[in-house]
């Protein structure tokens, strides 16, 4: 696609705006791209140019991330709010049916959206992601997550400290230390959209009320998961990286049982509407080596078998 047509969008929301960047012509079939936790729309800068040019790709920044407005004071961030942002963006762009491409947390938002609004999603691509997060390993932690989310919000509101301004080099090193799967080049790309430059250096754009992902997730039971995916009308492409993550907090990362449960449930429910692919790489393979998955995603987006809507 080369640089193609890349445009910046600013979509009005009740609390401000959602920022997004778009590739291609808005007359082409739409694909909404959802980034991972604390990332931003630049997450897709290296993958989208390798995908078919006859689609309209829109990568949004979730609220409080990238160039999107922060939520109003006192209004908490929560998994379901991110799902409703997808619905709001679709309304702002006047889309009634589109495809979703989500990395990590973005795929979990896209998965939940696709089950709540099944008639709106024709294809769902999950990159190193799961359509829902299961509570299996987390039951004893869930109340403390909710408590920490509330305490953290109150703490940030009480501390009137301005955002920390650091040198670009320090910012990059800090970022790479916290995100071991992101290479230097990709780290710079995410920070381009994730920081603002001032005279003395850079500060992070993201809302400091957003901290650890587990504080904001909607954990669900296996039973509810199986029930929810029966609602899907979309075809689903599930891409797993060989050195990716299997567990939310990465502490039980050797435990692949949950991923196997998720994929086998999707396969038995969706049958030929489910495709599973494994690619070499880590959790950020879509940025580090996008060529490992571009062909698979391209074929999936271009495949024509339409699914009858009544299924």
Q: What is the pLDDT of residues 153-190, one digit of tens each?
A: 999 999 978 888 999 999 999 999 888 899 999 999 99
Distance CA 272, CA 274 (A): 5
Name the percent of the chain lying above pLDDT 70. 93
Report residue 65 as tokens. 């991330």
Give the mean model confidence (pLDDT) for residues 95-116: 97
User: Catalytic: 104?
Assistant: yes
Q: Are 259 and 137 in contact (CB under 8 A)?
A: no
pTM over 0.85: yes
What is the predicted pLDDT for the residue at 138?
A: 87
1 Cβ contact partners less than 8 Å away, ≥ 6 residues apart: 23, 24, 48, 49, 50, 51, 53
Distance CA 48, CA 44 (A): 6
What's the pLDDT tens digit per position in 115-165?
Answer: 999 999 999 999 999 999 998 888 899 999 999 999 999 999 999 788 889
If DSSP codes are grouped into helix, strand and coil, which group holds residue 181? coil
Q: Which residue has the higher pLDDT, 259 or 103?
A: 103
The residue from 68, 104, 114, 129 that is catalytic is 104
Q: Where are the beta strands (DSSP E) in the chain?
A: 6-13, 16-23, 30-34, 56-60, 98-103, 121-127, 133-134, 195-198, 201-204, 219-220, 235-243, 274-282
Query: Look-up: residue for tokens 């409703």?
Result: 84
- Residue 311: exposure state from Cβ atoms within 10 A (0-12, 13-18, ≥19): exposed
| DSSP 8-state assignment for residue 71 | P
Distance CA 305, CA 273 (A): 10
DSSP secondary structure string, 229-277?
HTT--SEEEEEEEEES-SSTTSTTTT--HHHHHHHHHHHHHHGGGEEEE
Residue 59 CB neighbour total at 10 angstroms: 27
Domains of the chain: 6-135+219-302 (3.40.50.1820)
């Amino acid at each position: 696609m080369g640089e193609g047509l890349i445009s910046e969008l600013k979509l009005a929301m009740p609390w401000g705006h959602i920022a997004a960047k778009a590739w291609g012509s808005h007359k082409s079939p739409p694909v909404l791209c959802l980034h991972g936790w604390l990332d931003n729309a630049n997450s897709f800068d290296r993958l989208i140019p390798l995908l078919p040019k006859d689609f309209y790709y829109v990568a949004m920044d979730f609220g409080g991330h990238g160039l999107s407005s922060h939520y109003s004071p006192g209004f908490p961030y929560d998994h379901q709010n991110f799902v409703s942002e997808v619905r709001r963006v679709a309304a702002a762009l006047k889309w009634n049916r589109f495809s979703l491409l989500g990395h990590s947390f973005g795929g979990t938002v896209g998965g939940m959206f696709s089950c709540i609004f099944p008639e709106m999603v024709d294809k769902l691509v999950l990159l190193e992601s799961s359509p829902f997060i299961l509570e299996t390993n987390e039951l004893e932690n869930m109340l403390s997550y909710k408590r920490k989310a509330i305490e953290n919000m109150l703490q940030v509101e009480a501390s009137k400290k301005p955002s920390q301004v650091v040198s670009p080099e320090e910012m990059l090193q800090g970022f790479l230390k916290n995100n071991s799967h992101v290479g230097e080049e990709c780290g710079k790309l995410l920070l381009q959209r994730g920081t603002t430059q001032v005279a003395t250096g850079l500060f992070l754009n993201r809302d400091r009320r957003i901290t650890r992902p587990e504080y904001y997730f909607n954990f669900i039971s296996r039973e509810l998961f199986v029930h929810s995916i029966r609602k899907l009308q979309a075809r689903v492409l599930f891409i797993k990286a060989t050195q990716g993550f299997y567990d939310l907090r990465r502490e039980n990362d050797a435990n692949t049982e949950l991923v196997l449960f998720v994929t086998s449930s999707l396969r038995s429910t969706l049958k030929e509407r489910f495709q599973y692919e494994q690619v070499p790489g880590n959790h950020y393979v879509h940025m580090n080596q996008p060529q490992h998955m571009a062909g698979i995603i391209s074929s999936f987006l271009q495949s024509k078998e339409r699914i009858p809507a009544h299924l």
